[in-house]
Amino acid sequence: MIAKQKKTQKNVLNGHGRYMELSDQKEFFEACRVSEQVVIHFYRPSTLRCQIVDRHLETLAAGHLETRFLKINAEKCPFLVEKLRIIMLPTILCVKNGKTEHSIIGFDELGGDDEFPTSVLALVLSSYDVLKYDKDTFLEENNIDQDELEADAEGGVNKIDMRRGPAIREGVNDAAAAIEDSDSDAEYYEGLDEIGH
């Protein structure tokens, strides 16, 4: 109990409980070094969706002292953007024990919509172990049935089936080409000659 209280006090001294902006890359590395769990929002001031993320992270920061919530302007840290492969804004970086666990790129993992509740972000962050949030609490708060959630997870918001059918592997394109009449190109060009004159 006392150890937990000391850890909480240490976290508060390190900036936990507030949503803060980092001014440079040096502060980024220092924050990742001193805090076990860090959530960092790479943003651009002119991007509307970044402002949406700011609102949600500010709410989460006040209630989760175990995690440090930060933001950094992507335009002011090109080295980090390149090294961490930040390709789209907003990107939320999940860092645990100094290592990048995951990057939440855009809103796809959050339902693909601008109007997602803060609890959805909390659930996604907790799935990467950078935030303590109970799945049962989430289901109860949002009136979601466990079976429905699992069915949605199987389909996903932007799930793409990358399996290729046997037709591609077995060379159907080659067979289709053999069926074509060899005169088809000549007939095509014949019509063009008439148009050109």
End-to-end CA, the chain: 93
Strand partners, 37: 96
**Least confident span in 6-15, 33-42, 184-193:** 184-193
Please report the beta strands in 8-153, taking only residues with DSSP state E, as ranges in sequence order: 19-22, 37-43, 68-73, 91-96, 99-105
- The yes-or-no verdict on residue 178 having pLDDT over 60 is no
Among the listed residues 17, 58, 44, 14, the one whose alpha carbon sits nearest the alpha carbon of residue 32:
14
Q: Identify the pLDDT of residue 149.
A: 55
Among the listed residues 74, 68, 157, 89, the one whose alpha carbon sits nearest the alpha carbon of residue 120:
157
How remote is the C-alpha of 183 from its chain's centroid? 52
**Rounded average pLDDT over 76-97:** 94
Q: Identify the pLDDT of residue 95.
A: 94
pLDDT band per the 50, 70, 90 thresholds, residue 160: very low
Q: Identify the pLDDT of residue 189.
A: 55
